[in-house]
Amino acid sequence: MPDLSAHGVLAGLDEIAGTGRDLRAGGYSRHLWQSAELELRDWFTERAERLGLAVDTDRNGNTWAWWGAPGPDAVVLGSHLDSVPGGGAYDGPLGVVSALEAVARLQAAGFVPGRPCAVLVFAEEEGSRFGVACLGSRLLSGAIDADVARKLTDRSGISLAEAAVTAGLDPAHLGPDQDALGRIGIFLELHVEQGRGLIDLGAPLAVASSILAHGRWRMSFTGQGNHAGATLMAGRRDPMVAAAHAILAVQEAALASTGARATVGRIEAVPGGTNVIPSAVTAWLDARAESDVEARAVVADITGRLQAAHTGCTATVVEESWTGTVTFDPELAARLALTLGGIPALSTGAGHDAGVLAARVPTAMLFVRNPTGISHSPEEFATLADCLAGVEALDTLLRELL
Ligand code: GLV
Ligand code: MN
Ligand code: MN
Ligand code: MN
């Protein structure tokens, strides 16, 4: 029999390899409802329909492909197709391609599911356009207030409500979707591993045990915009200097903690001219830790350190999103690990839609080894052999769960 999965996984990733390339950052920039992401959704629809799946987008922009009639107690496999700016080829797409491939393999083997099954593509997992990660799963499950979500804006000032209209959605209908959520009996997300966990374990696959508590905070600094040449150094109120102190404080606070991770990966200066002392600077903080208390403590420490910096500027810190520590359903995780021959369990520092759904429905994740240990970067990778092990694991699990 031809190796369908080898062909399919490669073909799936190959088919989208040219979509959303970021020539400046390298890798991919595929953002919600912008051209690359829309192209990927069309690709997903076409590929799912080729398998005879019925494709439908829910009121929050998540796309479902149903194998058989949509129904309650379904086994739903899913991930996302959007990326961080300059992201890798596997974070998200590997889960989608592998899910489609597992269904294709079962179909080719003549397997008839005994319960409903769907492949789900979540909207805006990375939060790269509207700032809140896992937006599609948060809206679906009610983990974000729909009014708050509608007012989120992208870097051009376009609101989520406005963007939803251009994507053919009714912004009034964004929000908790009990019908869609109620169909999920088990949610299973396969994802490339984003650190060195599987390298260190020497294993191709693991079942997720937990996700670190994590959140995002907007740190805003306001000073006095002025002329770079005509303004003496003494007495300046330069918010870029305040932000620089803050960034060092972020590193100092995380290093002083017992294992928190804190990052500033994005900064914006207004108005943003080489010869202009900015009037305002915004820096976004991503902080994560083993426990909710520890993550909150490191952010409190950072906030305290900002206020101690004497730069004549005002500083505010506003929470943009928060997910407490996620512990995946231990019984389901144990069942999956056993079915797969006793594969290891692994905790992760990366956020996932599965982490949001875990609060509402039985949820599990499978990680596929990333031999570079690097993610959110073009260097993210997974070998074909490990990708195939992931598809085979999904195939095995679906035979058991369906
Ligand atoms: C998503 O990958 C995140 O953890 O930011
Ligand atoms: Mn990611
Ligand atoms: Mn991801
Ligand atoms: Mn300092």
CATH number of the domain within which 260 lies = 3.30.70.360
Domain of 162, CATH number, reads 3.40.630.10
Same domain, 305 and 240: yes
Same domain, 96 and 225: no
CA neighbor of 15 nearest in space, from 67, 58, 50:
50
Reading the block at residue 142, the tokens are: 């009610």
Which residues 6+ apart lie within 8 Å of 218 measured at CB?
Answer: 282, 284, 285, 317, 318, 320
Interatomic CA distance for residues 91 and 353, integer angstroms:
12
- Is-contact 63 119, C-beta < 8 A? no
Confidence bin at 2 (pLDDT 50/70/90): very low
Residue recorded with tokens 């496999």? 77
User: Which residue(s) pair with 367 in the sheet?
Assistant: 191, 206
Domain containing 70: what range? 4-212+325-401
Res 10: pLDDT: 72
What percent of the chain clears pLDDT 70, i.e. is strictly above it?
98
Res 1: pLDDT: 36
Tens of pLDDT, residue by residue over 229-263, are: 999 999 999 999 999 999 999 999 999 999 999 99
Same domain, 168 and 223: no
List of E strands, 212-327: 213-222, 226-227, 261-270, 276-277, 280-289, 314-323, 326-327
Q: Which of 352, 367, 377 for mutating ligand 1's site (highest number of atoms within 8 Å of CB)?
A: 352
- Is-contact 90 381, C-beta < 8 A? yes
How much is the average pLDDT of 126-155? 98
The number of folded domains in the chain is 2
Give the amino acid at 47: R
Res 11: pLDDT: 83
Which residue has a Cα nearest atom 1 of ligand 1?
A: 351
Q: What is the mean pLDDT of the chain?
A: 96
Same domain, 37 and 167: yes
- CB of 135 closer than 6 A to ligand 1? no
Final residue belonging to a domain, choices 308, 323, 338: 323
Same domain, 198 and 55: yes
Reading the block at residue 33, the tokens are: 């409802």
- CB of 351 closer than 6 A to ligand 1? yes
Q: How far is the CA of 350 from the centre of ligand 1 (A)?
A: 5
Same domain, 317 and 331: no
- Which of the pair, 346 or 1, is modelled with greater confidence? 346
Distance of CA 109 to the CA centre of its chain: 33
Final residue belonging to a domain, choices 275, 298, 323: 323
Same domain, 134 and 23: yes
- Is-contact 142 148, C-beta < 8 A? no
Q: How far is the CA of 371 from the centre of ligand 1 (A)?
A: 18
Tens of pLDDT, residue by residue over 254-285, are: 999 999 999 999 999 999 999 999 999 999 99
Interatomic CA distance for residues 87 and 376, integer angstroms:
5
Interatomic CA distance for residues 272 and 282, integer angstroms:
11
146-154, Cβ contacts within 8 angstroms, sequence gap of 24 or more: 146/174, 146/175, 146/176, 149/174, 149/175, 150/174, 154/129, 154/130
Tell me: pLDDT of 4 over 70: no
CB count in 10 Å sphere of residue 340: 19
Same domain, 32 and 129: yes
Same domain, 154 and 273: no
Tell me: pLDDT of 299 over 60: yes
Residues with CB under 5 A from ligand 2 (ion): 91
Q: How far is the CA of 67 from the centre of ligand 3 (A)?
A: 24
Which residues 6+ apart lie within 8 Å of 244 measured at CB?
Answer: none
Instruction: Report which bound ligand comes closest to the CA of 95.
Output: 3
Burial class (CB in 10 A: 0-12, 13-18, 19+), 159: middle
Q: How far is the CA of 318 from the centre of ligand 3 (A)?
A: 24
Reading the block at residue 157, the tokens are: 């000032």
Same domain, 249 and 146: no
Reading the block at residue 207, the tokens are: 């079942």
pTM, full prediction: 0.96
Confidence bin at 390 (pLDDT 50/70/90): very high
What percent of the chain clears pLDDT 90, i.e. is strictly above it?
95
Interatomic CA distance for residues 360 and 350, integer angstroms:
19
Tell me: pLDDT of 310 over 80: no
Tens of pLDDT, residue by residue over 122-139, are: 999 999 999 999 999 999
Tens of pLDDT, residue by residue over 317-352, are: 999 999 999 999 999 999 999 999 999 999 999 999
Final residue belonging to a domain, choices 266, 293, 323: 323
Interatomic CA distance for residues 72 and 76, integer angstroms:
11
Confidence bin at 3 (pLDDT 50/70/90): very low
